Structure formats: C-alpha cells, structure tokens
Amino acid sequence: MFEYIVKRTLQAIPLLFIISIISFALMSLSPGDPTAIYENPEASTKSTPQDKAKLQARLGINQPIYVQYYKWMKLLVTEGNLGYSFEDGQPVTQKIIDRIPATMTLMATAIILSILIAIPIGVYSAVKQYSKLDYFFTGYSFLGIAVPSFFIALLAILIFSVKLRWFPVSGMRSVYSHFDLWDRIYHLALPALTLAFGLIATKSRFMRSSMLEVIKQDYVRTARAKGLSERKVIFKHALRNALIPIITIIALQLPNLFGGALFIEQLFAWPGMGRLSINAIFIRDYQVIMGTTMIAAILVVIANLIADILYAIIDPRIKFGKN
C-alpha cells in the first residue's frame, strides 16, 4: 500500500502543476485591473498614470505572465509560500491556514451528515421499492439535485433564522462566546445541513441504485435460500458491496462541495476559505485566489487517494498491484 500511495502522490505532482499553470493564466488574462480597488472615485485628486504604473510595479503585475508565474512558483518551492496578498501584504499561506479549519469543519460535518442520512434512505428505498416513502425520497432527490445550494441557503435563513428564530443568521460563534462547544454546534448546524442538502440527494439515489443491483446478485439469493433473516442478508451481505460506488461519489462530490461552500460561507458569514476566496475575487486579489485554488486542488487529489484506499478496505477483492 505504501508503494501505491507514493506512486499516486508522484502522479499528482504533474496534475497540480498543470492546474497551477491554467489557473494562473486564466486569472492573468481575465478583464480588470487589481489596482482599481485602490482608487477612490470620490477623492478630490485622481491618481495619475504614473501612480498606477508604480502600484502595478509594486504588485508585480506589470511583468509578463511567465515571469509572474516563475516568481510565484519559485516562492512556493523555496519558501512554501503561496505569495503575498495584494490587499494587506500578508502571506497567502498564513491567511489560508487561519481560515481552513473553519472550512474543513463545515465540509466534514456536511459529509458526515450526508452519509449518515443518505445511506439509510438509499437502503430503505431499495428494500421497499415503489413504496410511498420511496416515492417521497425520490422526489426529494430530484429536488436536492436540481435546486442550487445558494437558494437552499437563502430559504433556510429566511425560514429557520428570520421567521422561526431557531438558528442564528450568521457567524461561527456568538459575540461574547470564546469557545463554547454547544454555541459552535448551534452556529454550525444550519450551514452544515444546508450544504449537506444536495449531497444527501445525490448519495441516496446512488445508494438506492447500487443496493437494487446488489440484492439481485446470486450470492444474496443464496444467503436468503440458507434461511438467513432479511436483516442479515441486507446489512451483512448486500450493504458492504453496495457501499463501494458511494465512496466514488464522496470523492467526486468534493469539487462541488468546495463550490457550494463558497456561497454557503458567504451567505452565513462563515469565516472560512470559501469566504476568503469570494472576497479575493471581488477585490481581484490574484495571489489569494491562486492560493485557495491550489489548496482546493490538493484536497481533491487527497480525497481521491483516500477513496482508492477505502476500496481495498471495504472490498477485499481489490488489491494494490504494481500494474
């Protein structure tokens, strides 16, 4: 397994390199000028072209794209730094380190909730196919897949925060609370459930389809023919193999999860990496945008590696061969 992990890690390096080149080129070629955020339209004296040129030189954006990329990559390789923010000059790596725990908490909670809710829904829908609850869960799945996460977030804020006042509107903690666990959970519940809404819909549909396919296999029929109870047949023989496609879905959902977290964090004022990215996009802070993009790409690669390892744990037939 160790050789396999090393091999996959080495294979990921060229992929991340290509992602960095494409991301850097897209940002550099995008319309707009980062120096525009420093100009005050209401000021009595306007900045001259010379002032703008000096600011561009200070930010390093007046150089050719390949020179800017080389300096960024050199800084990353030699110092482990993802650049310096245009906004305040702070290291981008430090800004991400400060924000990533909040994002990981939100995403991990949403993933765990989606697994705990989606798997029972999928199993029940497969075992009780065409029942009333199966039709209800099917309708929910279509709704969860079709409706964008930001709309669900706005609706959840309006109903559960503004109207019913069950949950806080925004933030990670109360104003006068330093580290109260229940206060953190109270603030985390609504954004995590909102982010998990679409994940549950997708996973439950795949779980239902996978379970329906597995319970039609010969070894399941054999288990029933031996007189095993339906509970043992489902949970001991069928469920284990039905979970394998779900692991793939969890890994493939991670990019969409990052995209959903961008809007969820902004709407709930959650102090995570997604909100940092949105603010960076508004002020054209290319260094921060580049940094958050690379961190997201690295996390996706790690998630796919973990998914491959979990395949072998759940299904012993899958081995880590050299080929």
User: Does the pLDDT of residue 45 top 60, yes or no?
Assistant: no
What is the per-residue pLDDT across 190-238, written as a single tens digit (0 to 9) for each?
Answer: 999 999 999 999 999 999 999 999 888 888 888 888 888 888 888 887 8
**pLDDT, average across residues 77-95:** 86
Q: How confident is the model at residue 155 (pLDDT cuts 50, 70, 90)?
A: very high
**pLDDT, average across residues 147-163:** 90
Residue type, 293: T
User: Does the pLDDT of residue 299 top 70, yes or no?
Assistant: yes
Q: How confident is the model at residue 133 (pLDDT cuts 50, 70, 90)?
A: very high
| Residues 6 or more apart whose Cβ sits within 8 Å of residue 181 | none
What is the per-residue pLDDT across 230-263, written as a single tens digit (0 to 9) for each?
Answer: 888 888 878 888 887 787 787 777 777 888 888 8
For residue 26, how many C-alpha atoms fall within 13 Å in the half-sphere facing its CB? 10
Per-residue pLDDT at 323: 47
Q: How confident is the model at residue 41 (pLDDT cuts 50, 70, 90)?
A: low
User: Does the pLDDT of residue 59 top 80, yes or no?
Assistant: no
Classify the C-alpha dihedral 42-43-47-52 as positive or negative: negative
Lowest mean pLDDT among 17-21, 133-137, 244-248: 244-248
Per-residue pLDDT at 116: 93
Cβ(168)–Cβ(161) under 8 Å?
Answer: yes
Alpha carbons 86 and 32: distance in angstroms, whole number: 14
Cβ(102)–Cβ(195) under 8 Å?
Answer: no
Residue type, 162: V
Domains annotated on the chain, with CATH: 99-314 (1.10.3720.10)
Most confident of 27-31, 180-184, 198-202: 198-202
**pLDDT, average across residues 11-40:** 79
Chain-centroid distance, C-alpha 13: 20
User: Does the pLDDT of residue 293 top 60, yes or no?
Assistant: yes
**pLDDT, average across residues 111-136:** 92
Q: How confident is the model at residue 39 (pLDDT cuts 50, 70, 90)?
A: low
CA-based end-to-end distance of the chain: 13
Distances (CA, A) of 63 to 58, 71, 98, 206, 250: 11, 11, 30, 49, 41
Tokens of 195: 């982010």
**pLDDT, average across residues 16-28:** 87
Tokens of 197: 């809404």
Q: How confident is the model at residue 122 (pLDDT cuts 50, 70, 90)?
A: very high
Mean pLDDT across the chain: 83
Per-residue pLDDT at 177: 66
Compute and round to an integer the Cα radius of gyration of the chain. Answer: 24
Per-residue pLDDT at 209: 92
Chain-centroid distance, C-alpha 125: 27
**pLDDT, average across residues 129-138:** 91
Neighbours of 93 (CB within 10 A): 18
Classify the C-alpha dihedral 161-167-172-175 as positive or negative: positive
Per-residue pLDDT at 38: 62
